[in-house]
Each structure stands twice: as structure tokens, then as C-alpha cells.
Amino acid sequence: MFFDGISSIGEIFEGNRLSDILYRNPYLKLFILAIVGTVPAGLAALLLPSKNALAFHSLLFLSLGFLFTAIVLFFTRRSTFKERGLSQLGFRDAIWVGFAQALAVLPGVSRSGMTIAMGLSRGLDRQLAFRFSFILSIPAVLGAFLLELRHLGGLPHQHLPFYVLGVAVSFVLGLLVIRLAEKIVIRGNFYLFSYYVAAVAILTFTLSFFIS
């Protein structure tokens, strides 16, 4: 996406039409749509009540979020796949997937689950739905990091090696898990995650009666 964006700058100054540029640079189009899809989540994060609100400290509310995620994931089993590829990915798709991502600011609601499920419901092919979901995660995670950074107040230098190690381990394991999840989605078995999330919802709901 970065290199397509760089190569398109020259085409813009040469007077080429934007539609022609996007046709020749599909990853530039993907970059623009990722920005569009990020807007709803950004607005939701800014407009959301303080995280000190009861919803963010309630196991009962958390269990409802898990249950909602499980239901959405389960219904991906019945999605009608039109196998729309990158050339057919449009602004409406980006906005709808963006709204799905915005739901994930609520506790217990899976960001990747919502966005992949929405992509599939929009008729995107499985690989594109998966990849667009995780492309959208980049600005979302960076934005969340920047919002929270102001509360950190700096990191102790003596703890820096542990933070670096944690980042390195999570990066490697993240790549492995993403590759595994991609294979599961492409095979049409994404709905299987719903059973796991439903079990977590039941466990969390039960614990909510014992832990205040």
C-alpha cells in the first residue's frame, strides 16, 4: 500500500484521473478504504463514556459482550458468499466494516470477529474479509495506543528490556496466530470460534454472581 501510494503521486501530477490511478494501484485503493473504515471506530472511541463507567467494570456486561460476539460468529456459518474481490471492494463496504469495528470499543466484543463477520456478510471473499479486517486493526491499535499513552506518565528505564521482550514475543506469536486464523476463515470454519466465545460468556456470567 505504501509503495502504491508513492507511485501514484507522480500519476496525480501527470493529470491522470483518480479512478484510473486506483484501477492501476489496487493497494492504494485499499489504503484509502482502510482510512475510511477507521473513522467510525475513531469517533466511537472519542464519544464513548469514560472507562470508569460501570460497563467497563461489570462481569455481567462483559458476559453480554461475549454472548453477542458468539451469536455474530455463529451466523457466519449461514453467510452467502459472493466472492467479491479487491476490485469490487467499495466505500460502502469500508464504512459497514468500520461500523462493525466501532462496536469493539465495548467490553467483550471482538474486533476481528465483528469486522470479519461484516466483511463476509457484505459478500467479500473470505481471504479479503480477513485481510481487510487486520489492515483496519493497524490504525485502530495505534490510535488506541496514542489515546492511552497520555496516561502512562513515562516508562522506568530499568523495565525497558522487559517491555522490548514482551513486544518481540507478542509480535512472533501474533504472526503465527494470525496465519492460523486466516486458514480457519478461508476454509469456512470461522463460526467454530462461536462455541469457544459462548463458553467464555457462560463462565463470565456465572462468575458475575460471585465477584463484585
Q: Which residue ranges make up each domain of the chain?
A: 2-207
**Residue 67, C-alpha cell as written in the block:** 454472548
Are the CB atoms for 28 and 37 separated by under 8 Å?
A: no
Convert the pLDDT of each residue in 65-101 to its tens digit: 999 999 999 998 876 656 788 888 888 999 999 999 9
Please report the pLDDT score of residue 193 as a whole number: 93
Question: pTM for the complete prediction?
Answer: 0.83
Convert the pLDDT of each residue in 120-172 to its tens digit: 999 898 999 999 999 998 888 887 777 777 666 666 677 788 888 998 999 99
The percent of residues in the chain predicted with pLDDT above 70, rounded, is 91
Residue at grid coordinates 502512562: 152
Please report the pLDDT score of residue 166 as a whole number: 92
More confident residue, 124 or 24: 124
Using CA atoms, how far apart are residues 45 and 64, in angstroms rounded to an integer? Answer: 20
Contacts of residue 124, defined as CB under 8 A and 6 or more positions apart, other chains included, come to 84, 85, 89, 93, 132
